[in-house]
Amino acid sequence: MRCGSNYSFYLSLHREFNERLAARVVLIRPEDLEISLKREDIRIRKMADDVAGEVHRMKAFVRLSSLGPNILYGFMKPRHRIGEHVCEHFARRNEGIIVVLGNGRESWICLCRDGRIWRERGSGLEESLGRLKSALNVEEGGQDLAGAGLKRINLDRLWQAYYDSQYCPERKNLAAFNRHMPRRDQEAAGMRLV
């Protein structure tokens, strides 16, 4: 299993998770689930691995853009209920910065400060960004927050410099990329590749 002993957490994020599966999961140890040949156990194992795989791909392929100095946002349309988990991951990596992930129907907002996470759900990415922008008085030109005294930083240029530093033309292999990242995952991460 990709998810190891944390399989019950990943299983709970699956789109088809229900109370019957929750009751079944309590009775199974991860070691027993790994070697079991029962149809139900194999299904549980596949469901947990499917969620763990999607979490891994979303963490790897979602690209963040900046909206002012303290807001990062990205497009994500997951098949399972992993939005909050992935958003929390990015918030922990960017402490003190509000991270917004979402699509046209739903969005997740997280902020990590002093090791604590604040979470919020929204009805759509554009609406959530609009509310945050007006609440924080962030202007289009990347202005400082009202009275915060933060330096102006063009985060788009900073992220682009990071992405450019990771690019190596010798490793460009679109056939392998498309084989390992199906079209549905490209679309879920907001990557409209041909």
Residues 6+ apart with CB under 8 A from 27: none
Residues 97 and 146 in one domain: yes
Tell which residue, 12, 110, 115, 101, has the closest CA to residue 65: 101
The DSSP output letter for 98 is E
The range of the structural domain enclosing residue 132 comes to 62-183
Residues 100 and 130 in one domain: yes
Tell which residue, 79, 105, 49, has the closest CA to residue 185: 79
Tell which residue, 88, 66, 62, has the closest CA to residue 75: 62
Residues 131 and 78 in one domain: yes
Residues 41 and 104 in one domain: no
pLDDT truncated to tens, each residue of the chain (194 aa)?
566 678 889 999 999 999 998 888 888 888 888 888 999 889 999 999 999 999 999 999 999 998 888 899 999 999 999 999 999 999 999 999 999 999 999 999 999 999 899 999 988 999 999 888 887 764 444 444 444 434 444 666 666 777 777 777 777 887 887 777 777 777 777 776 55
Question: Is-above-0.95 flag for pTM?
Answer: no
The DSSP output letter for 34 is H
Helix-helix angle 39-61:83-93, to 10 degrees: 40
Cα 150 to Cα 95: distance, rounded to the nearest angstrom: 15
Answer yes or no: is 192 within a domain.
no
User: What is the three-class DSSP state of 53?
Assistant: helix
Instruction: Yes or no: say if 7 and 48 are a contact pair by the CB < 8 Å rule.
Output: yes
Residues 31 and 72 in one domain: no
Answer yes or no: is 44 within a domain.
yes
**151: exposed, middle or buried (Cβ count in 10 Å: 0-12, 13-18, 19+):** exposed
Answer yes or no: is 52 within a domain.
yes
